[in-house]
A and B are shown apart, each in its own frame.
Chain A
Amino acid sequence: MAKSASQDPLTKGRVRKQGRRSPLASIALILIGLVATGGVYALFTTSANASTTAASSALTTEGSKLFQANCATCHGMNLEGTKVAPSLIGVGAASVDFQVSTGRMPAAASGPQEEQKPSQFTAQQTQALYTFVASKAPGPGIPSKEYLGGNDNAAQGALLFRTNCAMCHNVAGAGGALTEGKFAPALTGVKAKTIYEAMETGPQNMPVFNDKNLTPMQKADVITYLKYLDNNPSPGGLDLGNLGPVSEGLFLWIFGLGTIVGVTIWLTAKAN
């Protein structure tokens, strides 16, 4: 159907060409059109670029200062890394935003892993830092808002979460232990942006889930599932931290067995 429809105007054009218009007229017309639109577009975009570069260069300068003061001791003056800290070349804005906004960086002390603590920088300073690091080498950027709404497919997100995340972070996102003091943190109440950035950049011992492994849409589904868990009460009642057999077993040992022992004593005690 489409083929026949496109053939009609073609044949009509040929008829016209054989008429009064010169064969070069259409080519000239296309050229004029292209130059005109291209010129106008270039005019607008250069003007827009000029203002954004001005803003981002101010941010980069501020970020550079913050970096020299807070990060360069370990990560090197040119982000090249040292013996104690990795290079930051090519880690991208997402990685810096994740580490700094959750307070994991700057590190408080060297331990099995850097733990979450109150952020040391304001949102604007954080932005300056990640703009500076991203300006040195390209890397994963700040996630687009369209994937952070938490209103995508929760069921698909749960399926992906069970396959890719649940073994470390627990099926209900309650977190879990790893080797030698390391652990996968709980994902309850974590900001959508932070979750997205963690998946994209693989901080510390977490594997990287790049956009080919989990597409941005699939990442949005995973976030939706986690937000669903945050917003919906556990259907089974008291969740005991969702830690599985450990907390449930402890509860039963103390309260279940305690009740049984109490009832047994009462049953066998003589009335007085």
Chain B
Amino acid sequence: MAQHGDSNTASGTAVKVSRAPESPGTGVVQSDIPQNPGFPPHNPRMTDLDPNKEKRAERQVAILFFLSIIGSIFALAAYIAYPIIPGDFGSIRTNNLLLGLGITLGLLGIGLGAVHWAKQLMREDESVELRHGTRGTPETREKAVEVFELGNAESGFGRRTLIRNSMIGALVLTPVPAIALFRDLAPMADPVKLLQHTMWKKGTRLTHDPTGIPIKASDVTLGSAFHVIPEGLLQRTDMLEQKAKAAVLLMRLLPQDLHVTKGRETWNYNGIIAYSKICTHVGCPVALYEQDTHHLLCPCHQSQFDITHEAKVIFGPARRPLPQLPITVDSEGYLVAQSDFHEPVGPDFWERET
């Protein structure tokens, strides 16, 4: 077994293997330990043997460097000859393509030329360069200690303890403002509260995304899917943050197709139902609605939700059904929310209760 322990001595590496002496009782005499083979024999290259080949390699390297020069000049010329015309996407493409080709040629020419030079013309036989010790002479070591002691004596660092300690105190406290600055990167309010509530509240009208026009219950015909944002979202300064939580998908099914659980009987309006569009897995917008099978598919990780069974998860990594938004109509026939969602929307987080 000891042989296997030594088998990392790969051929070609000049590592001297030292082993502990075997104890006479259990030692197995090893007769076939692999020996360090040292360097392989040096094979001269064609360029070493044939002066014509050497000349040719030299020309090849020079050509590669010239190609690099041409590439760089080409990039500059193309940038001037094919300028970017504002509003013309085709011109951006031509400009970027030619500029990129030129710069690529410029860089590749240098790289390929350098490698070709090293491989074909530079000295290529392996050699061993021994490292020298890094410890200084006793004189330099003494001198260094002397310098430190002199500094201490001249500055009084060790003697004037008041100055020294107050300086250490000042240095320790300088990073403290950074803590306050970095704390500012976190949300101002309690993030748990932000995650638990959305913009929806009693009486908020359901409006079209992206126009913000309110939706009447009579507009939502069977088989329709409406992408919904709360009324007033477009006027908010934190529009995107709010939309990321409040986006809703509105659908209409035959009321007899819905399997409504106890306590949710009044959450739909004549078969019109609204569900959060934010996937409970990692928060992608779930909006691939199949109106025939009534399945909702999340495009990111293929979670599937059954809309007839209150968005129950029927496939994929999502763990919880999509939260339902209780809706009704107001006196003018517009769809409104009865309240906020009854549970936090989107993926799990530490402080989520269910």
Contacts and interface: CB of A to CB of B under 8 A. Distances in A.
Contact of A178 (B92, B224, B297): B297
Given A207-B223, A271-B47, A163 B209 contact: yes
Given A167-B299, A210-B219, A272-B43, 10 more contacts: A178-B290, A179-B290, A179-B293, A179-B295, A179-B302, A179-B315, A207-B251, A208-B222, A270-B119, A271-B120
Contacts of B315: 179
Contacts, number: 86
Contact of A205 (B89, B227, B293): B293
A163 B226 CA distance: 10
A237 interface: yes
A213 interface: yes
Interface of B: 43, 45-47, 89-90, 92-93, 96-97, 115, 119-120, 124, 208-210, 215-216, 218-227, 251, 285, 287-293, 295, 297, 299, 302, 304, 315
A213 B115 contact: no
Contacts of B93: 233, 235-237
B285 A167 contact: yes
A233 B209 contact: no
A266 B108 CA distance: 14
Contacts of A168: 288
Contacts of A210: 219, 221, 224
20 contacts: A159-B210, A163-B227, A176-B299, A179-B295, A179-B304, A179-B315, A182-B290, A202-B224, A202-B291, A206-B291, A207-B225, A207-B289, A210-B221, A212-B219, A212-B220, A213-B220, A237-B97, A266-B115, A267-B115, A270-B124
Contacts of B299: 167, 176
A75 to B, nearest CB: 16
Contacts of A266: 115
Contacts of A206: 291
Interface centre among A159, A167, A184 (most CB of B within 10 A): A167
Given A163-B227, A207-B251, A213-B219, A233 B292 contact: no
